Structure formats: structure tokens, C-alpha cells
Amino acid sequence: MADWTERYRPTTLSAVRGNNKARDALEEWADTWADHGEAAVIHGSPGVGKTSAAHALANDKGWPVLEMNASDARTADEIERFAGRAASNSTLGGERQLVILDEADNLHRHKDRGGAAAMTRVVKDAAQPIVLIANDYYEMSTGLRSACQEIEFRDISARSIVPVLRDICRQEGVEFDEAVLERIAEANRGDLRGAIKDTQSRVQEGRIRAEGSEGERDRTEDIFSFLDAVLKEQSAEDALQTAYAADETPDDLLLWIEDKVPKVYEGAELADAYEHLANADVWLGRVRETQNYSYWRYTTDNVAAGVAAVRRSDRGGWTRYGGAPYRSTRDATRDYVAERIAETADVSTATARREILPYLEAMTHHCRNRELTVRMTARYDLEAEHVAFVTGSGKTTNKVQGIVEEAEERTEAEAVEHSGGAFAALEGNGKGGEATGESDGDGDNADSDGTLAAFGASGPENGDADGDIPDDPDTDAKEDDGQSGLSDFM
């Protein structure tokens, strides 16, 4: 049986369902492209029709399509070679062609190093219209976002999904129960593609079965679904579950709710919401002070359940939340560190913030474990302000400055070690060998590809009986080598 999602993919923009405003904005962008010359970025949850809309637009305009997936574009050279050539070329007769880059939010990964910068250069200099497709708009670099017109595709409501499922069943000659289609639409929570797949999977002997397993796919809530859940739609308990499913840390969730709540709440509701947000901030302060991340759950309780609980009535309709909230210097520093971790560990910045950074903060708190702090600094090429952020120490203290200097020395020494004799002159007078000896004497392997799982598993097992970090900085360099397992990760 042919895949229904492909068979019934819209071939014209008028057939795109559930996002009329976004569809019209895309068409207007194309009609006026000669005047502004900007690329467009279409973003939204999986399954809402972003890529289908781009292809439907090209079909309406009669534009040839050149498509590339960011997951297949590993380097800046590949992006510039394909997208750059496509965007700068003209077709025969001067006709336009549409360049589509899918999964543009994947350009941030380590394997795509330089890809975001290359794509930014391409879209700024393009002589052809470019559409970028992204699930998570804010995983794209700031420079790339600012170079494009933003078009957001919202989750498709169940009442918009049901007519699509009904039409497909009729065209396929399949019998159905309206209530079953409604349950499928509700279970897929705005994912039209998923609803179509689930409907097809239920076909049995020319009829849609009443029971199925739809909605069991792993779904991560995007930030705008989270905002709607807390501020407009869900109960306190349900909003809390949505917060747990969001791919953001509690401090990020606090920033978003704090920035967007005045767009929905007012009067007493707003005052009560801010009281819960103030409580959330207190708990975040305790996390930073004690490095006890179990307190995060109290932050989430206040941000999600607390703010949802003070809502006097549910809201409908669409709210223009706007872009990311203002980020303080501390937030910007944290984002930079997370990006450095993400590049080195080959994970997303969200994963680095949520799963790796808290461990590094706990292991290097106040630089008590000096050796691990030096390794971290060298591994991620951090400066004093970044080390101060992770460890909670002052960036101007002798402790932090000394760690940064030692990390720089180790990096230089390793460059000598791996130079293949390029620095033979230095080795001849003893300086190169001396530096290399310092670097290798502790058995550190800065190129290790170990994972955080190895780092976490080997700590207490190989270290102290209770797994505690040594408190005496004078003994750190002697005792922690190979003890904490950080060398496996760093």
C-alpha cells in the first residue's frame, strides 16, 4: 500500500491545511522576493507541513527545486559548494529556482562546524530565493535567523486534521467512524503527518479499526507549545507534565514564562504569576549556590504548575509571543559554554545545557578539584569568565587566572606533541620536551571521545569510597588523576 502522506501531499499552497496565515505569508514572501531578496525560514513542530508548503510554493510558481538536508551537509565547504552555487546561478531564460535547506537547525552540530556561518553568507549573497526549514527556530544561529524572514507554522488543531482524514478515507474507499478520526486527531496533538500515518495503520478489511496505538511516539514539546499549555490551556498538573517534556532547562523555562506572561495575563492573574516566578528564582539561586540540582524540580513546579494554577480562565486563539526573551550576561555566558560543549561532545546545545553542564558545575565547584577544572578549561577552550561561570568562582581571582594559564600551557604543549616534529628545534634545546613532559605526565588524553555516561559511571567507583570530590586543592593534582573518570570524558 502506498504511503498516504506522500500520495496526499499538497501540490499547491491552497491545499496546505491548518496554517492559513503562514501559508499566505510564504506566498507574499515569494511574490515580493525581487524587492527584498531575503531568504525565508519556515519553522514549527514536525508534521505541520513546512516542507510540503515549500514544495507546493515552487509548484505554484513553476520554479525548479534544488533541495539539501542539513543532516547530509557536514562542512562549510559542502554547503557553499551546493547551496552557494544553486543560490547564485540563474536558470535558462532568467527564470528563478527555489533552494530548500531542510533541517536547518541541525547546522549547529560539531559535525557541521562552520555550516551555520557558511549558510549565513550564502543567504545574504543569494541571487535566488532560499527557504530554510527548521523544527527549533532558536537552535539556529542568531546571525542566520537575522538574515531571514521568519514564518512560523503552528501546530494544526484537531478540528483541522479531521476533515483531511475524512477526505483521504473517502478517496481510498475506506469506511470510517467520525469519532475514531477525532480520537486519532486528538492523540496526535497537531501533527497532521502523524495523524495520516496512524489512520493508514488502522486500515483493516476496508475499514478504519476503532483501536490503535497512535500518539505513543516520542514527542518533545517545543517552547511555544509549552507557553500555550501554561498560560492558556492546561491545568496545573498537565502543564507540569508538559514542562517535563519540553527540551529546555528550568532556568530557560523561567526566562520564557517571565517574558511572555504579560502577553496573556493581566491584573491579579499577572501579580499572582509573578509571585510564583519569584519563588522559582529563589530555588534557582539555591541550585547555583549548593550545586544541588534536585532543587530544579521546585523551580519547574512554580514556573509551570504555579503559573497555570493562578489562571482564572482558559484562553483560545493564537498569541504572538515574539522572539526569544532578553538574556542577561550570565545567560549569554552559559549559552557560550553550552555551545563549546556541544561542538566538542557532538550533541545539541540544549542537551549540553540540560545534561552535561550541570555535571561539570558540580565536579568543578569553586575549583576545588583543580586538575579537573584545568582539563575542562583546556578541553573546551574556555576563558576566565567562562571558568568563573561554571565553577562559581570570581573570574579575577588568582585561582581562576592560574587555571586558565595552565590550560593554555597544556594546549600549547599538546600542539607540540602532535606536531610530528614540526617543533624539533624546541625539543633540541630541551624546552619542547619539557613542555610535553608536563602535558603527558598525568596520563591525560585530551582527544578522548568518552561520553558523559563513562564520566558519571567511573567517578564514585574509582574514586573515594563515598565518591566525594577532594576538598584540599593542594592534593588535587596528585590524587584526582584517573580517579574521577573525567579524563574519560574530557
Band (124; pLDDT cuts 50, 70, 90): confident
Higher pLDDT: 261 or 394? It is 261
pLDDT at position 212 is 55
Higher pLDDT: 115 or 285? It is 285
Name the pairing type of β-strands 98-102 and 65-69.
parallel
pLDDT at position 288 is 75
pLDDT at position 363 is 87
Residue 421 has pLDDT above 80, yes or no: no
Q: Percentage helix, strand, coil, to 5, in the chain?
A: 60, 5, 30
Q: 257-285, pLDDT tens digit by residue? A: 988 999 999 889 999 999 999 899 889 88
Residue 296 has pLDDT above 80, yes or no: yes
Q: Are residues 487 and 448 in contact, defined by beta-carbon separation less than 8 angstroms?
A: yes
**Which cell is 60 given?**
505554484
Residue 48 sits at φ, ψ, to 5 deg, of: -95, 0
Average pLDDT, the chain: 76
pLDDT at position 173 is 92
Residue 218 has pLDDT above 80, yes or no: no
Find all residues with CB under 8 Å of 14, minimum gap 6, and list them. Answer: none
Return the H-helix or E-strand segment holding 194.
helix 192-201
**Domain extent listing, the chain:** 4-152, 158-208, 223-309, 329-489
Which of 156-160, 164-168, 368-372 is least confident?
Answer: 156-160
Band (455; pLDDT cuts 50, 70, 90): very low
Residue 82 has pLDDT above 90, yes or no: no
**Which cell is 140 given?**
539556529
pLDDT at position 473 is 40
Residue 203 has pLDDT above 80, yes or no: yes
With a pLDDT cut of 90, the percent of the chain lying above it is 21
DSSP structural state of residue 143: H
Residue 42 has pLDDT above 50, yes or no: yes
Reply yes or no on domain 4-152 having CATH 3.40.50.300: yes
Band (482; pLDDT cuts 50, 70, 90): very low
User: What is the mean pLDDT of the segment spanning 48-59?
Assistant: 92
User: What is the mean pLDDT of the segment spanning 367-384?
Assistant: 91
d(CA 255, CA 470): 35
User: What is the mean pLDDT of the segment spanning 153-163?
Assistant: 88
Which of 141-150, 228-237, 343-352, 383-392 is least confident?
Answer: 343-352
pLDDT at position 118 is 78
